[in-house]
Structure 1
């Protein structure tokens, strides 16, 4: 349904889907319907001001009444169909779902208690908790009361987790919380969260780089240890190879040369000299 504005008023037609009152969504339904009627210039028909002309309200009331009837579920439509004006329908619905002053005061006290006990869960995001506070403010407005920014800011700062205490302390020191807007406090906390995420991301990147460097150093140490092991094995192999040297021509035992033979070292020096001389003479004879 397109809600056409009243003739002579400013504004375009309201072409959004009509919100339907089911009996459990009166607060949000009333906000949407009142906004649609105001955009079409028909709000005076449901909440007539004291100085409004009755003729004008009568002409606007027909369009407003038709819109309200379309915005009701069938069971509620039959209960208010006998009412002739939009103001009567609006007032009847408000009395039914909001109640008299005594009931309204009782509901308002219950709502204040709920707001006082409202806390932020451990894994709950900041946007989800802000949505709860905003919903409380909407319910206050539906009961004819107001939840001011000071109370909302105090609730927000009292319920944030420990990691945001630095931002809360800075706001309490440098800002006047009695005049601070709720949106301003929320923006400051979100900016702090963004900076905190960047800092945590930098720390994680540093830890990853350190881990990679440590793995590289461990790998280099392992490679060095393997090289040392290979050199040690080559040395042992060389020693074993030296143990398999040829047979000595002096004693006939394998493992050393003649010049290293123990028997040769035990012979007297004179005997070795005679042998040398004999060898020389034999060489000369030849």
Structure 2
């Protein structure tokens, strides 16, 4: 008998590349899909002084799940970074250490957001750049802003793209603006 999910490709373990927020989002999703996320959030509860056999079994099961969650974390983090994490006893310990080291303070996040806002404001299409590349550059900045907590309305993105394209696209921009309500257009 073939297993129902046999054709489902296993997701790749996301590698930490220095961009904590992106890695954390992907890693959290992976750990949730494997039903290990509660271990990262809550850790392994300690056993009471005289545990019942049921409590011992639940505790042992959670320890095994924690080992599996740690295995995913170990796969995703380079050895050089893992060596800087002092406490690797549980998945929660590893996660908390990564968050503390790489998430950044509120001031840093605010500064990064200010830089991204500025990049968005001065962004313009380069001569000879393809429309797809320009869209990709624009959406990359917008995605980074959203990761930092900024809400960017789609109509603002559309308006930015239309007003910052090179002159050779003026006729296309005029045509789009005359035939459509720009406030309801999507980037797609």
Scaled by the length of structure 1, what TM-score is found? 0.49
Give the number of the structure whose residues are more often helix, by fraction. Answer: 1
- Out of 14, 23, 30, the position equivalent to 1:19 is 14
CA distance in 1, matches of 2:62, 2:149: 24
Given that 1:98 and 1:143 are in contact with CA atoms closer than 8 Å, whether structure 2 keeps it comes out as: no
CA distance in 1, matches of 2:31, 2:168: 45
Which residue is equivalent to 1:30? 24
Instruction: String of CA shifts for 1:124-168, please: whole Å, max 9, x gaps.
Output: 111111111221133223323333312321221112222322332
Q: Using CA pairs below 8 Å that are at least 6 residues apart, which structure has the higher relative contact order? A: 2
Given that 1:120 and 1:159 are in contact with CA atoms closer than 8 Å, whether structure 2 keeps it comes out as: yes
CA distance in 1, matches of 2:158, 2:66: 40
Classify 1:91/1:153 alpha carbon distance in 2 versus 1 (closer, same or farther; 3 Å).
Answer: farther
5+ residue gaps, structure 2, are: 43-60
5+ residue gaps, structure 1, are: 1-9, 49-55, 184-286
State yes or no: 1:70 paired with 2:75: yes
Scaled by the length of structure 2, what TM-score is found? 0.70
Offset, 1:61: 4.4
State yes or no: 1:80 paired with 2:85: yes
Instruction: String of CA shifts for 1:182-226, please: whole Å, max 9, x gaps.
Output: 21xxxxxxxxxxxxxxxxxxxxxxxxxxxxxxxxxxxxxxxxxxx
- Out of 109, 114, 130, the position equivalent to 2:114 is 109
CA distance in 2, matches of 1:161, 1:80: 49
- Bigger drift between 71-80 and 34-43 goes to 34-43
Q: Which structure has the larger Rg over C-alpha atoms? A: 1
Between the two proteins, the alignment pairs up a number of residues equal to: 168
CA distance in 1, matches of 2:37, 2:134: 33
Given that 1:44 and 1:57 are in contact with CA atoms closer than 8 Å, whether structure 2 keeps it comes out as: no
Offset, 1:112: 0.9
Given that 2:28 and 2:37 are in contact with CA atoms closer than 8 Å, whether structure 1 keeps it comes out as: yes
Residues 145-224 of structure 1 aligned to structure 2 (within 5 Å): 145-183=150-188
Instruction: String of CA shifts for 1:101-126, please: whole Å, max 9, x gaps.
Output: 12211111111111111121101111
Which residue is equivalent to 2:48? none
CA distance in 2, matches of 1:11, 1:141: 35
